[in-house]
Amino acid sequence: MRRAIVVGSGAGGCMAARELARAGMDVTVLEAGGEFKPLTLVLNMLEPVRQAGLFFDERMIQALFPAMRINKAEVGLVHVRGVGLGGTTTLATGNAVRYDRYLKELGICLSEEFEELASEVPQTTEHRAMWSDLTNKLFEAFERLGLDPQVTPKFMADPSRCVACGKCVLGCRFGAKWTADELIRNVDGVTVRTGCEVLSVVMEGGEARGVVVGHGPLREEVPADLVVLSAGGLGTPQILDASGIPTRPTLFVDPVLCIAAPWEEAHLDAQLPMPFVSQQEDYILSPYFDWLSFYFNKGWRMPSDGIMSIMIKMADTSAGTFDGHHLSKPLADADWDTMVHAIDQVYAVFEQMGVPAKKTFYGTLNAGHPGGCFPLGADESEALHSDLLPANLYVADASLFPRSMGNPPMLTIMALAKRVARLASA
């Protein structure tokens, strides 16, 4: 039986592993992190520390919540990702959005994969009954402004377990949210090894022979006939570079900025996050309680139930690198122009709600959709494989995206990973 290694257990890795096992391969998933535990389990311990102003650097969260990794870039941008079984999907708000416009422009049509995903991964738009008064009012304000709000499809393993606690990004402790590791739990042909950080791919005679795993100072070589890298938009380029395969300084991250205002009894902190989305050219707008700002941004030092907040998530230009320690993510003039335009639209929404712009305050600039450092070109639209790689080494994550989407990428990453796995196992 042919042996495959999949590196990383996020959206791309779990989908690739499942497809390779279906194709009859013996698959080992190597995941750097451990089993995921939600932060919500210790949440009540955090409030006194927050009120005392002792949370002053976002990186501190890692001590309490090892699954959340923070890197900081220029302009104070805080990058968040998940390290552990399920990858960053464990921190996701569960938005299930198909956004393959830029892949289509390259000639890549994933309609078949999206159709399969519709029945393989539970998604629902049946959550309006859970919305609060404020959410409904915001929806109407968006409508009045012609912003065409649409109910967000959500990945939900079991909607009946969702209590709309509003803490999806801290991990779901109710078993309501769907995360990617469900794709590989109890699947014949898939073995998962956690605590295995892959350092590089072993190359021999122009082929990948396996990978090198680091256990502290010790090294282990894990052999394979096929290697698929799905270590995410920051992890995969690191492994490629360490294996002598050059990546590009074209990192995108989809910057996020929340704009908030005091609102008595808002309770947005205990609402389904991002219940609806307004899709604009190069950005989206959606109601979102920003826990990162709530804990670490001095401007947010008020009770969580008294904050109304709207998220801007935008596509950024392809420029940036990550070397494992330093994240460089400069924002271009065009990015700031997009942000300013989006901010004006959020002010218009607040005005509709009767809140003047001078009463609003900003959240912390953050991001969590890295990709683009090993982008596909039009000449790779059939094979989804670069000539820079040996024939038996593939990439299956957002590193392949040709540009930033400014949209939730999980669904599109899974569709792409599905196709990559099929091609790789053919």
Ligand X SMILES: Cc1cc2nc3c(=O)[nH]c(=O)nc-3n(C[C@H](O)[C@H](O)[C@H](O)COP(=O)(O)OP(=O)(O)OC[C@H]3O[C@@H](n4cnc5c(N)ncnc54)[C@H](O)[C@@H]3O)c2cc1C
Q: Which residues bind ligand X (CB under 6 A)?
A: 7-13, 30-33, 80-84, 87-89, 91-95, 169, 197-198, 230-233, 235, 239, 368-369, 397-398, 408-411, 413
For the CB of residue 290, give the shortest distance to ligand X in the complex, in Å.
10
**192 in Cβ contact with 65 (< 8 Å):** no
Nearer to ligand X by C-beta: 138 or 415?
Answer: 415
Which amino acid would we find at residue 110?
L
Nearer to ligand X by C-beta: 197 or 282?
Answer: 197
Nearer to ligand X by C-beta: 233 or 375?
Answer: 233
Nearer to ligand X by C-beta: 176 or 350?
Answer: 176
Nearer to ligand X by C-beta: 197 or 335?
Answer: 197
For the CB of residue 299, give the shortest distance to ligand X in the complex, in Å.
20
Relative to beta strand 190-193, strand 361-362 is: unpaired
Q: Any bridge partners for residue 215, and if so which?
A: 218
For the CB of residue 323, give the shortest distance to ligand X in the complex, in Å.
13
**189 in Cβ contact with 27 (< 8 Å):** yes
Nearer to ligand X by C-beta: 242 or 348?
Answer: 242
Nearer to ligand X by C-beta: 12 or 406?
Answer: 12
Gap between the Cα atoms of 401 and 236, Å rounded: 13
Residue, CB closest to ligand X: 10
For the CB of residue 217, give the shortest distance to ligand X in the complex, in Å.
16
* Burial class of residue 198 (count of CB atoms within 10 Å of its CB; 0-12, 13-18, 19+): buried
For the CB of residue 81, give the shortest distance to ligand X in the complex, in Å.
5
DSSP assignment, residue 213?
A: E
- Reduce the DSSP state of residue 418 to 3 states and report it: helix
Nearer to ligand X by C-beta: 8 or 38?
Answer: 8
CA distances 185 to 15, 115, 117, 127, 151, Å, are 12, 22, 17, 27, 30
Gap between the Cα atoms of 320 and 76, Å rounded: 14
Residue labelled with tokens 């320690």? 325
* Secondary structure (H, E, C), 194-227: CCCEEEEEEEECCEEEEEEEEECCEEEEEECCEE
For the CB of residue 374, give the shortest distance to ligand X in the complex, in Å.
12
For the CB of residue 160, give the shortest distance to ligand X in the complex, in Å.
20
Q: Nearest CA to 274 among 297, 293, 254, 258?
A: 258
For the CB of residue 32, give the shortest distance to ligand X in the complex, in Å.
4
**142 in Cβ contact with 276 (< 8 Å):** yes
Q: Nearest CA to 8 among 294, 316, 323, 396?
A: 396
